[in-house]
C-alpha cells in the first residue's frame, strides 16, 4: 500500500506533471515573473468559473483578508464579528489592523457561524462580519446577508477552505462560495482544494468601485504608477503560481468529486458507530470536504490519534485552541466570551486523511483502523 498522507500532493502532481512542467517552463522562458500573462489569464478563468465580475489575485489568503478590510476603510476600534473556531488568520488580521475581533459561537452541526449569535453580538461599533466556510461547508449566507443588510454591515467571506463549493438560495439560485458577500477571500496554499506550489490567494467581488480599491490596496495604494492614493501593501500572485493554478482550475470539480467520494465512503463506514458524529451536510450547502472532520463521542482523542499513528494513518486536529483562548487576544478580553459549542468542539474533533488520490486500499485501512480502536479501545 502507498503510504497514506493527509494530502498527497506528490501523487496529484505526477498525474499532471507534463502540463505543469510545460506551464512553468513557459513562464521561465518569458521571464515575466511578476504580473505576467499567466496571472491575468488565471484571474479571467477563475472569474468565469465563479461567475463573478472581479478576481484580484494576491500573495496569500491572509493578505486577502487584510486587503479586504483595508479596502472597506475599516478604522481602529471598529468591531468585526467572526467565529473563534477557525484558523488564526481570520482573527489575526482584524487585530493587526487595530480593529476589535468579536468572537461568536458556531452552529453545532455545520461548525460555521451561528447567525442568531451574530445578530446578538452586533453593537453600534460593528462594521463587518467574517463568516468562515469551515472544512469546505458553506456557511448559511442568505440569512447572514439579511442580518448584514438590516444593520448596514459588510460581509467578507473567508473562503480559504471551500473554493468550488455551492450555496443554494431560497429561490433555487445556486452561487459559488465566496461570491455572495461583499468580498470573498481565498487561499491557494498547496493543500487547498485548488492549491498552487507555494503561497497564493485572491479576492472576489461584483462591486466595480470596490474592485478598483482592492487593486490599489494590493499594489502599494497606487492609482497610477508612482501615484499612491491610499496606504497599501505589496501582495502579488507570482506568474509561476498562476501558471500552476491555470492547469489545476479545470480539474477543480473533478478534485471535489474525488474528495466527496472519500467522504461518502467514510460516512457509510461510520454510520452505525455512536462514538462518531460524521460531518453534517446542510441541504443548501454543497460540501467540498477540504477536511473530513469527525466528532468523537466519549472516545479518547489522544489515544485514537496515537493508535492511528502506530498504524501509519496520519490525522490532524483543526483546531485544538480556539481564537478566543489564544494569548494574542487576551487584551481584547477574549477569555470572557461564552462560546460553549466552540469550546466543546475543540476537545472532540479530529480530521482524517482526505485527498484526490486516495485509493481503496488506503481508505479501507483507515476505516479499519478507526473502527478497531473504537470497537476495542485500549485500556
> Which one, of 86, 23, 111, 46, lies nearest residue 103 by Cα?
86
Mean pLDDT of all residues in the chain? 96
Cell numbers describing residue 136: 469546505
| pLDDT value at residue 127 | 98
Cell numbers describing residue 185: 477571500
Average confidence (pLDDT) over 220-249:
95
| Cell 466595480 belongs to residue | 208
- Cβ pair 151, 123 in contact under 8 A: no
Buried b / exposed e across 29-54, counting CB within 10 Å, b at 16+?
eeeeeeebebbeebbebbeebbebeb
Average confidence (pLDDT) over 27-48:
96
Q: Kindly give, in sequence order, each residue whose CB lies less than 8 Å from that of residue 299, ignoring residues fewer than 6 positions away.
A: 275, 276, 373, 374, 377
Query: Residue 322: CA atoms inside 13 Å, Cβ hemisphere, count?
Result: 25
What is the band of 335 on the pLDDT scale with cuts at 50, 70, 90? confident
d(CA 89, CA 107): 20
Topology given in CATH for the domain delimited by 9-249: 3.40.640
Q: Is 192 a catalytic residue?
A: yes
Whole-prediction pTM:
0.96
Q: Kindly give, in sequence order, each residue whose CB lies less than 8 Å from that of residue 21, ignoring residues fewer than 6 positions away.
A: none
The pLDDT tens digits of the residues spanning 278-329 come to: 999 999 999 999 999 999 999 999 999 999 999 999 999 999 999 999 999 9
Q: For the chain, give every domain's residue range.
A: 9-249, 251-375
What percentage of the chain reaches a pLDDT higher than 90? Answer: 95
| Cell 500573462 belongs to residue | 37
Helix, strand, or coil (residue 61): helix
pLDDT at 377 over 90: no
What is the CATH number that goes with domain 251-375?
A: 3.90.1150.10
Query: Of 127, 175, 176, 192, which residue is the catalytic one?
Result: 192
Say if strands 349-352 and 285-286 run parallel, antiparallel, or are unpaired: unpaired
- Cβ pair 367, 269 in contact under 8 A: yes
Cell numbers describing residue 205: 467581488
Going by the DSSP 8-state scheme, the letter that residue 280 receives in this structure is P
pLDDT at 67 over 80: yes
The pLDDT tens digits of the residues spanning 123-178 come to: 999 999 999 999 999 999 999 999 999 999 999 999 999 999 999 999 999 999 99
Average confidence (pLDDT) over 77-103:
97
Cell numbers describing residue 93: 488580521
Q: Is 358 exposed, middle or buried (0-12, 13-18, 19+ CB in 10 A)?
A: buried
Amino acid at each position: 500500500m502507498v503510504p497514506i498522507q493527509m494530502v498527497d500532493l506528490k501523487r496529484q502532481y505526477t498525474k499532471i506533471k507534463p502540463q505543469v512542467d510545460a506551464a512553468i517552463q513557459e513562464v521561465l522562458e518569458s521571464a515575466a515573473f511578476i504580473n505576467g500573462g499567466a496571472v491575468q489569464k488565471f484571474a479571467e478563468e477563475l472569474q468565469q468559473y465563479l461567475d463573478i465580475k472581479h478576481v484580484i489575485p494576491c500573495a496569500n489568503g491572509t493578505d486577502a483578508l487584510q486587503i479586504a478590510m483595508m479596502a472597506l476603510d475599516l478604522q481602529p476600534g471598529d468591531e468585526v464579528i467572526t467565529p473563534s473556531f477557525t484558523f488564526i488568520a481570520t482573527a489575526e488580521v482584524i487585530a493587526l489592523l487595530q480593529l476589535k475581533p468579536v468572537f461568536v459561537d458556531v452552529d453545532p452541526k455545520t461548525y460555521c457561524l451561528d447567525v442568531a449569535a451574530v445578530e446578538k453580538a452586533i453593537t453600534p461599533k460593528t462594521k463587518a462580519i467574517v463568516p468562515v466556510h469551515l472544512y469546505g461547508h458553506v456557511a448559511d449566507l442568505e440569512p447572514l446577508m439579511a442580518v448584514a443588510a438590516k444593520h448596514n454591515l459588510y460581509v467578507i467571506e473567508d473562503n480559504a477552505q471551500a473554493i468550488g463549493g455551492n450555496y443554494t438560495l431560497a429561490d433555487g439560485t445556486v452561487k459559488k462560495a465566496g461570491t455572495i458577500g461583499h468580498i470573498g477571500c481565498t487561499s491557494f496554499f498547496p493543500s487547498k482544494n485548488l492549491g498552487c506550489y507555494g503561497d497564493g490567494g485572491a479576492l472576489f467581488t461584483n462591486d466595480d468601485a470596490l474592485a478598483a480599491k482592492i487593486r490599489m490596496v494590493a499594489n502599494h495604494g497606487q492609482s497610477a504608477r508612482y501615484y499612491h492614493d491610499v496606504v497599501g501593501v505589496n501582495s502579488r500572485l507570482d506568474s509561476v503560481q498562476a501558471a500552476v493554478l491555470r492547469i489545476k482550475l479545470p480539474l477543480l470539480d473533478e478534485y471535489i468529486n474525488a474528495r466527496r467520494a472519500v467522504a461518502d465512503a467514510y460516512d457509510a463506514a461510520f454510520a452505525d458507530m455512536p462514538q462518531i458524529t460524521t460531518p453534517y451536510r446542510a441541504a443548501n450547502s454543497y460540501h467540498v470536504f477540504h477536511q473530513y472532520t469527525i466528532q468523537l463521542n466519549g472516545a479518547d482523542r489522544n489515544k485514537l490519534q496515537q493508535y492511528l499513528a502506530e498504524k501509519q494513518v496520519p490525522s490532524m486536529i483543526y483546531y485544538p485552541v480556539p481564537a478566543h483562548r489564544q494569548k494574542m487576544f487576551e487584551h481584547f478580553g477574549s477569555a470572557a466570551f461564552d462560546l460553549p459549542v466552540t469550546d466543546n468542539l475543540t476537545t472532540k474533533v479530529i480530521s482524517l486523511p482526505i485527498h484526490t488520490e486516495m485509493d481503496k486500499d488506503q481508505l479501507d485501512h483507515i476505516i479499519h483502523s478507526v473502527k478497531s480502536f473504537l470497537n476495542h479501545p485500549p485500556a
